[in-house]
């Protein structure tokens, strides 16, 4: 499986590369008044309006533990996703977009049952890498499912 890796609050996450439309180093967004706290704003991507999510907050990090680089409506590291079965697009801010890696099924582990259910349902698994664990986001559920 090929995964795009990224960092949030010092933790390594991954997402299936097949869901990634592009990685942007700098996007300008517009905040939405009175929106959910996990929504950073809206981004105009070549005429298509895209919601930009705060994935750190969605994964349970408090504001003190992370700080994606955002100044005056500009996010400096953003991953744009495409939905599996629709033309929908979503984006999320990360501390740092990393590498595309290939992981073998033999290093796959299930998410432990004692992880908070809200967080566990947004992860598809954990891969045991040489020096750290890689938490894999279930991007279709987190960004494109109707809750």
- Does residue 79 carry a pLDDT above 50? yes
Q: Please report the pLDDT score of residue 147 as a whole number.
A: 52
> What is the pLDDT at residue 135?
95
42 burial type by CB count under 10 A (0-12 exposed, 13-18 middle, 19+ buried): middle
Average pLDDT over residues 46-54: 92
Q: For residues 78-98, give the mean pLDDT.
A: 90
Return the CATH fold of 2-144. Answer: OB fold (Dihydrolipoamide Acetyltransferase, E2P) (2.40.50)
Can you give the pTM of this predicted structure? 0.87
Residues 2-44 pLDDT 10s: 999 999 888 999 999 999 999 998 888 888 989 888 888 999 9
Domain residues of the chain, as ranges? 2-144
pLDDT tops 80 at residue 69: no
């Amino acid at each position: 499986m090929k995964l795009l890796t990224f960092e949030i609050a010092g933790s390594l996450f991954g997402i299936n590369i097949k869901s990634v439309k592009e990685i942007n180093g700098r996007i300008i967004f517009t905040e939405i008044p009175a929106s959910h706290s996990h929504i950073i704003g809206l981004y105009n991507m070549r005429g298509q309006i895209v919601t930009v999510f705060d994935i750190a907050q969605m994964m349970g990090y408090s504001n003190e533990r992370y700080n994606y680089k955002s100044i005056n409506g500009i996010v400096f590291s953003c991953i744009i996703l495409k939905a599996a079965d629709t033309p929908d697009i979503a984006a999320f801010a990360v501390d740092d977009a990393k590498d595309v890696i290939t992981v073998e099924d033999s290093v796959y582990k299930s998410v432990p049952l004692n992880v908070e259910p809200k967080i566990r349902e947004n992860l598809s698994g954990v891969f045991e890498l040489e020096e750290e664990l890689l938490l894999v986001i279930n991007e279709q559920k987190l960004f494109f499912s109707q809750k």
